[in-house]
Amino acid sequence: MIGDLGARDATALAELVAAGEVTPAELLDAALAAVEARNPAINAVVLMQEGVARQAIAAGLPQGPFRGVPFLLKDLGCEAVDFPSHNGSRLLANTRYHRDSAIYARIRATGVVTFGRTTSPEGGIGAATEAVVYGGPTRNPWDPGVTSGGSSGGAGAAVAAGIVAMAHGSDGGGSVRIPASSCGLFGFKPTRARLPDGPYVGEGWAGMAIDGFLTRSVRDTAVMLDACAGPDLGAPYVAPPLARSHADAISRPPPRLRVMICDTTFTGAAIHPEVRAAVLAAGRLLESLGHHVEPGRPQADVGMMMRAWTDIVGVGTALGVRRALKGRDAAGLVEGVSRGAVAHAEGLHPTRYLEAVGEIHAFGRQMAAVFGEEGGGGPDVILSACLAEPPAKVGRFSHATEDYVGYRIGPGGIFEYSPFCAVFNASGQPAASLPLGWTAAGLPVGVHLAGRFGADEMLIALCAEIERAAPWAGRRAPMAGGAAS
């Protein structure tokens, strides 16, 4: 009954535990067996801590909404005493922490049984997960020849492979939504500061980065967000309060909404025909549900935003690398893209960081103006693709190059591949990727929805309505026991 974790979402597994039909130890056994059987092909689960998980079960799990459900942390951030981390880098291999982060403490309080971490690219700056520290790339359970995405690529692969029903991730430029799109999962980026960053980080990438989760159902994300939301002590700023919880929001449909549909990039460039078809099909679905859908394109300086994003992330990368190197040579410890980021950051004028932060803030105001006030003339939601094309081949976004700027915003770079997600990290607005499309080859295609700053409950309610109208739970990767077509 429990050998196939991928057949149920985390809520359903927790219900089995609560009913006494299965024990947390049995669920952990099933997850460990799935790791043994499936992980060698995808290289997603690392730094296993079976003993920690068994001790947590023996000590008595918290009576939270996911009591007994196996869980994995991304190997980047989410600092936890019992879970050392490589942070995607040989330079930071086997880092230990003296206290738990606020986000991990809240995750643990839900009753999950955490037993390891999932792979991440070095520094979290890629749309693919191929860090040298893990001995090879992380592959997609739908097709091992393509990437599972990044930077939460290991989390996406582990959930899509049916190893766990949900996993922790984080998103500073699409790092939850890109793996969700690539792996046929649901990924939701909350409004800036909805989840805690402390105490190890004051803010991630000038407020552009935030934690999140890779799940197979909207309800799992909603309940986990409710469990983790709210500032930690001393947070520099907080998100606007929710009118109702995420879980309450998904219990009923939102009001009929004005939807701007964009079947190009936000700068007007064409996207892959199969991806465009998925966007248009999603627009027709929303129309059939009574929403008002009109074509459009947000008028904002996306080029300025991406240059500022690239500089901010470069400076953040340089800070982390220089602090950890402690005078050592980066060769053999730091991958090419990160070395390039350090060089780029050190070539910037000392005032550029604050200038770039100001540009990100200006861009956020531009995007807020696109939506306008609630009840005004602007859209409530922007509908687009999540990625401009289907999942990329493994190796296309290798970190070997030292051309950091070209890697991010040059021809054929990350931004051309993923031109939508980072827009909403910069603006701080809530956004989600939904697994609504599929290529002729059977690869997932995510459709992207974004809402006004602070309107998380409206957006997640819309996601739940779409899930009910076009359910995706039955569509699973062959590795997880599903069919690719």
Tell me the pLDDT tens digit for each residue of 74-105. 999 999 999 999 999 999 999 999 999 999 99
For residues 201-216, average pLDDT: 96
Residue of 175, 384, 427, 433 marked active site: 175
Residue 56 lies in a domain: yes
Is residue 393 part of the annotated active site? The answer reads no
* Per-residue model confidence (pLDDT) at position 362: 98
Over the chain, what is the mean pLDDT? 96
Measured CA to CA, the distance from residue 149 to residue 362 in angstroms comes to 29
What percentage of the chain exceeds 90 in pLDDT?
96
Give me the number of domains the chain comprises. 1
More confident residue, 3 or 392: 392
| Domain encompassing residue 208 | 5-480
Residue 15 lies in a domain: yes
Spacing of C-alpha 250 from chain mean position = 20
483, pLDDT greater than 60: no
Closest CA to 157 of 294, 42, 276: 42
Beta-sheet pairing, 70-74 with 113-118: parallel
Residue of 74, 189, 338, 433 marked active site: 74
Residue 485 lies in a domain: no
If pLDDT is split at 50, 70 and 90, which confidence band does 324 have?
Answer: very high
Residue of 148, 151, 181, 427 marked active site: 151
Residues in the chain: 485
Residue 272 lies in a domain: yes
Residue 96 lies in a domain: yes
Which residue type, as a one-letter code, is found at position 81? V
For residues 333-355, average pLDDT: 98
Provide Rg for the chain, Cα atoms: 21
**Residue 13, domain CATH:** 3.90.1300.10
Taking only the tens place, the pLDDT of each residue in 45-74 is 999 999 999 999 999 999 999 999 999 999
CB 165 within 8 A of CB 110: no
Half-sphere exposure of 204 (CA within 13 A, CB side): 26
Helix 10-18 to helix 24-42 angle (10° resolution) is: 150
Residue 83 lies in a domain: yes
Closest CA to 170 of 159, 178, 182, 161: 178
- Tokens 């409530």 correspond to 380
Full-prediction pTM beyond 0.75?
yes
Count of Cβ atoms closer than 10 Å to residue 393 Cβ:
12
If pLDDT is split at 50, 70 and 90, which confidence band does 116 have?
Answer: very high
* Per-residue model confidence (pLDDT) at position 5: 64
Residue 95 lies in a domain: yes
If pLDDT is split at 50, 70 and 90, which confidence band does 229 have?
Answer: very high
Tokens of 52: 């920690």
Half-sphere exposure of 47 (CA within 13 A, CB side): 26
482, pLDDT greater than 80: no
* Per-residue model confidence (pLDDT) at position 485: 36
444, pLDDT greater than 50: yes
Residue 147 lies in a domain: yes
* Per-residue model confidence (pLDDT) at position 4: 62
Is residue 384 part of the annotated active site? The answer reads no
Is residue 326 part of the annotated active site? The answer reads no
Closest CA to 164 of 27, 293, 42, 258: 27
* Per-residue model confidence (pLDDT) at position 484: 43
* Residue 184 phi, psi dihedral angles, 5° rounding: 70, 40
Taking only the tens place, the pLDDT of each residue in 125-164 is 999 999 999 999 999 999 999 999 999 999 999 999 999 9
